A and B are shown apart, each in its own frame.
Chain A
Amino acid sequence: MSTPASNLHGLGAEFPSASALMQAAEKVRDSGFRKWDVYSPFPIHGMDAAMGFRRSRVSLFSLLGGITGLTTAFTLIYYTSAINYPLIVQGKPYFALEPSMPVFFELTILLTAFGTIIGLLLLTLMPRLHHPVFNWERFKRVSDDGFFIVLEAADPRFEKGASRRFLEELGGSHVTEIYQDPEPEPHPARPEAKGHA
């Protein structure tokens, strides 16, 4: 179906430690790569700067969630207690701020949490159960003690040979071509390989 070249997701390299990964990331950033990523078993302090990220926008979703929560709480209480079902209880006003505070607070928190989690899922594009990097056997160690950089073939600066040398110069080991299909197709002529795609 597709040729091996277009099947190439990118080149992966392993690094021995968090510090080595960070130094390599700074150089990849400086070389102008855009489509690449760094993989580690835990968040590395300072890696966002090393990769040239701006601050995460999850907080915007949280804020939207919080505003929605407070608005919902106000509307709910005001509508039910003062408009739709006004009932005198213990001579208290139909609506007042003081007794509404706990529910205002709780719904604000609740929808902030929802906003945060929705924001996280949208920004990280999760859930996405499969990804080409999982085709790389060594990559399994990313959730254990492996540190990786993957340069993606979609980047205009990507060139198989030069990128491989670049990763090796950075100190990466086990530089590997990562393919989009579970079976990389080094021999496109092989008939059964085509059937899998």
Chain B
Amino acid sequence: MRADNPASQAAFAKASEYLERKPLVGSRRCLAWITDHVCRIVEQPAPIWWWVATIVTGAIAALTPAMLTYLVATGVGVWGLNAPVAWAWDITNFVFWIGIGHAGTLISAILFLTRQKWRTSINRSAEAMTIFAVICAGIFPAFHVGRVWFAWWLFPIPNANAIWQNFRSPLLWDVFAVSTYFTVSLIFWYLGLIPDLASLRDRAKTRLRQMAYGILALGWRGSNRQWTHYEKAYLILAGISTPLVLSVHSVVSFDFATSIVPGWHTTIFPPYFVAGAIFGGFAMVLTLLIPFRELYGLHDLVTDKHIDNMCKITLLTGSLVGYAYAMEFFIAWYSGNPYELYAFINRATGPYWWAYWAMITCNVVAPQLFWFKYCRQNPWVVLAIVMFPNTGMWFERFVIIVTSIHRDFLPSSWGYFSPTWVDISLFIGTIGLFLFLFLLFVRFLPMITMFEVKNVTPEADPHHGNGHDAHGHASHPSPAKAHA
């Protein structure tokens, strides 16, 4: 019946094309193409735009040490902090950057455990982003302590005063959470890099490259005796990174939630912070990947399907964050606590109303556009939309931190925070540092996990090509034997 009728045949073909799962590597690229296309980014001379971007972001990044030097030389008074608002841009920036650092480990660990194979072409750059974001984050609390030369007191190192840390303080938990997160993310990232560094070593044309990548690759030779342990180690690291990534922002939220400040003292904070972190992190992954995919022509590796998936995660987590905002208000009313209620009414209608509504617009309203397929399919529209979460997640932290403390219990302790030029320049400096480090990463390390991408191609299937092997090895036993 179907065969006779050309119209229904065409409809059937269209339907099966629609239902067929899109391949993770576009255009049926072969293994050598993947290696070549990814390694070329590192091997060929850097394009002009790379030099321009690196010099510009490097100059902006230089603001970071400049402002820190000025801060240390003069005193924390150069920041706009005041009596009720002792935490402002510094802690906002810290939480903002830590949040961005969540997408990397989420992609590499949670999506690995849930067997989301599309993660393979984005995990490397997302992990790199994580590490750079955590570096930017660490700067703020370290200098916020005031006397940065005593920052080592945060760590349990025996000292001449015979004083130990207060392990009951969430600020100390934070030290452990953030430093563990940084270390484990770095190990995880490096572990994933080893086989790809071996690819760069084997392709190296100069002695310097051969030595540098050779040492970094630790003598990897892709033997199955190595792979078997490697895969196990990767699985374990993914397994421990999954609770770790969920714990880091939970612990960061304890800084606020364990206090008695109205607006901070809420049990919803840990999951709400984690959802927000994933939301902001994915927005930043998209922000970085879309331009690089265009510039390096990586459309067959980072396909439209990848962008579509990330948009959906952004939509989901953005809606979760919206739910958390609504629930905070509900609880503020339902708790019957007048201080709590006031803190929230003040948030939305007080002197910082603009920050609150900027946050709602960016984080709750803007991602709803991702319900529309058109918005998820056009990379430039995606890039425009994710700028809202990028901004909105900064405002979220600003709103939570500053609006909650700028009006203390007594009206005599009410104040208003305005950033100084040092606050602003330092934040801009860390944005420059983040982009600068990312540009260096793209230039010197393979930005796509080649061996994992190869593993999701049809050729990687050990039963691929049986029966119709084009290479002239038709005498193989039946594929079923491989299971024996």
A residues adjacent to B (C-beta < 8 A):
16-23, 25-26, 37-48, 50-51, 53, 55-59, 62, 76-77, 80-81, 84-85, 87, 89-90, 92, 96, 99-100, 102-103, 105-107, 109-110, 112-114, 116-117, 119-121, 123-124, 126-131, 133-134, 139-145, 171
Contact = CB atoms under 8 A, between A and B. Distances in A.
Contacts of B203: 140, 143-144
- What 7 A-B pairs are tightest by C-beta distance, nearest first? A145-B31, A80-B164, A127-B218, A102-B173, A56-B232, A143-B199, A16-B471
Contacts of B229: 56-58, 119-120, 123-124
A140 B202 contact: yes
B191 interface: yes
- Say what secondary structure dominates the interface of chain B: helix
A109 B463 CA distance: 37
Given A129-B219, A143-B35, A102 B462 contact: no
B236 A58 contact: yes
Given A18-B462, A59-B232, A110-B184, A116 B237 contact: yes
B295 interface: no
Interface of B: 30-32, 35-36, 156, 162-170, 172-173, 176-177, 180, 183-184, 187-188, 191, 195-196, 198-199, 201-203, 214-215, 218-233, 236-237, 240, 243-244, 247, 251, 254, 450-452, 454-455, 459-466, 469, 471, 473, 475-477, 479, 481-483
Given A17-B464, A43-B227, A112-B240, A133 B221 contact: yes
Given A89-B166, A106-B176, A109-B243, A18 B461 contact: yes
7 contacts: A44-B227, A47-B227, A114-B187, A120-B232, A124-B229, A129-B215, A143-B220
A128 B223 CA distance: 13
B113 to A, nearest CB: 15
A81 B228 contact: no
A22 B30 contact: no
Contacts of B220: 126, 143
Contact of A113 (B35, B184, B476): B184
Contacts of B169: 89
Contacts of B163: 85
A139 B222 CA distance: 10
Given A43-B451, A142-B222, 16 more contacts: A18-B460, A19-B462, A20-B469, A46-B482, A50-B482, A53-B224, A56-B229, A77-B167, A80-B164, A81-B166, A81-B167, A81-B168, A85-B164, A120-B233, A134-B221, A141-B202
